[in-house]
Chain A
Amino acid sequence: MRALRGVTMRVSEGEIYGLVGPNGSGKTTLLRILAGLVKPSSGVVRVCGYDPYRNFEETRRYIGYLPEDANTYDLLTGYEHLELYAKIYGLGEDAIRYGAELSQLSERLRDLASTYSRGMKRRLLLALVLMRKPRVALLDEPTSGLDVHASVNVRNTIKKYALETGATIIVSSHNMLEIEFLCTRVGLIYSGVIVDEGSPRELIEKYSASNLEEVFVKAVGELSRERY
């Protein structure tokens, strides 16, 4: 089964790029390819000039990847998670401190992750990805399944990180509001194809829509009717 059908996209340094599409549209596969976890059957992928699959070791220095439904280890504390990933990446105390700050878990970092709420776990996971300040952060549905407060918190963390570090961020989401809030450019993905892309404002104007949701419906309307 082909998950992607000829995706062409380019994300510039410092951009926050949003991938918007329904379930099964190919967002996760695209992010996994960019993270070097899945080998594309054809085509060329470059992250910071490297093929992330072939040059897996080299690209680890640049890429941070948060999978959609990633989870924490129940029997480790939040702090131990930070320690574990810091050691795997060969980082020191500074990175752990930065991770602790990003997670906003303060004293709760000493507790086992099994006692955390879903929002707390997501913040910790995001901190594990961003604590080493990757040049490219790939965030798959970072607020999926979170309540409003937790979602806002995670979004603010991503925004703050982008401003502080100038990193390139590719974020996938169903949530159009989130994409409008975070992203400088958006790619509308449907059935493995990038249907259209541009800044949220450009797309809203182009499709004479009031928000990104309308843009998406109009952009994929024809394709959607063909499919269903």
Chain B
Amino acid sequence: MNATKLGVFLWKELKEFTRDRKALLVTLLLPPLALSAIGLVTVLLLTQRQVFVSIVNMDEQSEIAISVTSRLLSELSRAGYSVSEAGDLETVLRDPSIDLIVVVPSGFTSNVTSLDRVAFIEVIKRAGVSSEQVDAAESTVRSIVSAISTEFSVRKISTLAERAGIGTYSVEAVRNPVQVKVPVYIGVHGEPARIEDIWRPFIAKLLILSFSFVVTPASSYVIDGIIGERERKTMEMLLASPLGLTEFLTVKVLAASIVGLVAAISDLMGLYVYVAVLMAAIGGFILGVLEPGLILLHAVISFLTILAITSISLPFISRTKGIKSASSVASLISTMGLAFFIAGWIIDFYKLPSTLLKILLFVPYTHSILAIQAYVYRDHLVVAGCTLVLLVLSTTLVFISTRTLDREKVLLAQTYYT
């Protein structure tokens, strides 16, 4: 293989790509713009969704019940829910617009003030209309009730302690004598964890998921590069030149991988902004926890993954008669990749039993997922191993793919002898 010719032809491929404004727009700008817009729209829709809560006080004569009801009303209102008080439970049960019903049952006051009974507040959720906002409303109710419960505990314990003549006591020690402390996060090797350590697995999952976005543009590019070149009648003169079929096909795969890498970075940015917007809407914060090492690894693995995928599809694409059949073959290979990368979002491949993992390692996508996940566990040996396997595998596949083809097969896959 001649490196100079390879470089010259790659330069031509990249020049064409950078001049194709539509392709650039779709590959570079569209993913971050579209995903950010989708994130904003989702947040907008989330905030626009109203949750209707109705509170029914069935212990009407009691001041305590009235006070609890009014507190629920005011605090739920303040939290942004549409809250109303209903006099009749049957009516609100039949009203489909009410998402959540909070009932202060009769006998509530008697129970809450006794020393041998527990007072319950009932929460009724409508099946089938549940959403995260309804769950959030329920959670708010639980917090308010918990605060009310604490206040009653304090009163009861103080009164009992006073009557028993106990001078030193803690309400919390009586109420909750055994508790779990707020968890302490540690790093993989026992060191105190930083915010990046806590978020890293999530970011890694995002990175793995973003692989699935880049497989398709890379396949399309290699299809266009080979079959498109044949159909646009620019291929025959090149094949007759000293460029050589190996250089021709290698450049097509390399160019597709570079385009894929550009798409990977762009998609990742889009995905990151999308998640950041969503997290910001629900009070989280992930901006600023991106780790340069992880991002660099992602770029390298993206490039090698695309290189492997395109070189697997290369012999099929080069031999097929048209763009439709080539696209079918490429989409089959891409779909397999997609399935793996979605699995990587859900499953921790690094923690799989070694016997199962050994079988999965025959699939190149596993190495891509494992490299990223192993980075999270700071297992640099596995990271290096997976990267090396991907590098060797992709270059071997490119080599085999280009060697199994000859000029005649590539040239005449579609045309006929005249």
Binding site for B on A (CB under 8 A): 1, 3, 23-29, 32, 35-39, 56-57, 60, 63, 65-67, 69-73, 75-76, 80, 84-85, 87-90, 112, 125, 128-129
Contact = CB atoms under 8 A, between A and B. Distances in A.
B16 A76 contact: yes
Given A29-B418, A71-B233, 12 more contacts: A3-B417, A27-B418, A37-B407, A56-B407, A57-B242, A60-B240, A67-B240, A70-B236, A75-B16, A75-B19, A88-B5, A89-B241
B15 interface: yes
A51 to B, nearest CB: 14
Interface in B1-21: 4-5, 8-9, 12, 15-16, 19-20
A38 B15 contact: no
B91 interface: no
B234 interface: yes
Contacts of B244: 57
Contacts of B15: 75-76, 80
Residue among B20, B242, B411 having the largest count of chain A Cβ atoms under 10 Å: B242
B233 A70 contact: yes
Contacts of A36: 240, 407
Interface residues of B, number: 28
Closest 8 CB pairs between A and B?
A: A3-B417, A71-B233, A67-B236, A60-B242, A65-B240, A87-B8, A75-B19, A75-B16
A192 to B, nearest CB: 9
A26 B20 CA distance: 38
27 contacts: A24-B418, A25-B418, A27-B418, A36-B240, A37-B408, A37-B411, A38-B408, A38-B411, A39-B408, A57-B242, A65-B240, A67-B240, A70-B233, A70-B236, A70-B237, A71-B234, A72-B234, A73-B12, A73-B16, A75-B20, A76-B15, A76-B16, A88-B8, A88-B9, A88-B242, A89-B242, A90-B242
A125 B237 contact: yes
Contacts of B8: 84, 87-88
A128 B237 contact: yes
Interface in B392-418: 407-408, 411-412, 416-418
B418 A37 contact: no
A29 B417 contact: yes
Nearest to B242: A60
Contacts of B408: 37-39
Contacts, number: 86
B391 interface: no
Contacts of B243: 88
A72 B412 CA distance: 19
A35 B243 CA distance: 14
B361 to A, nearest CB: 39
A66 B242 contact: no
Contacts of A80: 12, 15
Contacts of B16: 73, 75-76
Interface in B32-60: none
B242 A37 contact: no
A129 B236 CA distance: 12
Nearest to B18: A75
A25 B237 CA distance: 22
Nearest to B417: A3
Given A29-B418, A37-B407, A88-B5, A73 B234 contact: yes
Contact of A60 (B234, B241, B416, B417): B241
Contacts of A112: 19
A28 B241 contact: no
A87 to B, nearest CB: 4
Nearest to A87: B8
B232 interface: yes
Given A23-B418, A29-B417, A37-B411, A67 B12 contact: no
A56 B237 CA distance: 14
Residue among A57, A75, A80, A129 having the largest count of chain B Cβ atoms under 10 Å: A75
Given A73-B16, A88-B242, A65 B237 contact: yes
Contact of A69 (B4, B233, B241, B417): B233
B343 interface: no
B342 interface: no
Contacts of A39: 408
A35 B240 contact: yes
A1 B12 contact: no
A38 B412 CA distance: 9
A94 B228 CA distance: 32
Contacts of A75: 15-16, 19-20
A224 B241 CA distance: 37
Nearest to A2: B417
A89 B407 CA distance: 18
Given A37-B407, A70-B234, A71-B232, A63 B417 contact: no
Nearest to B234: A71
Contacts of B416: 1
Contacts of A87: 4-5, 8
A60 B239 CA distance: 11
Contacts of A28: 417-418
A63 B15 CA distance: 28
Nearest to A39: B408
Contacts of A72: 234
B10 to A, nearest CB: 11
Residue among A3, A35, A70 having the largest count of chain B Cβ atoms under 10 Å: A70
A3 to B, nearest CB: 4
Nearest to A128: B237
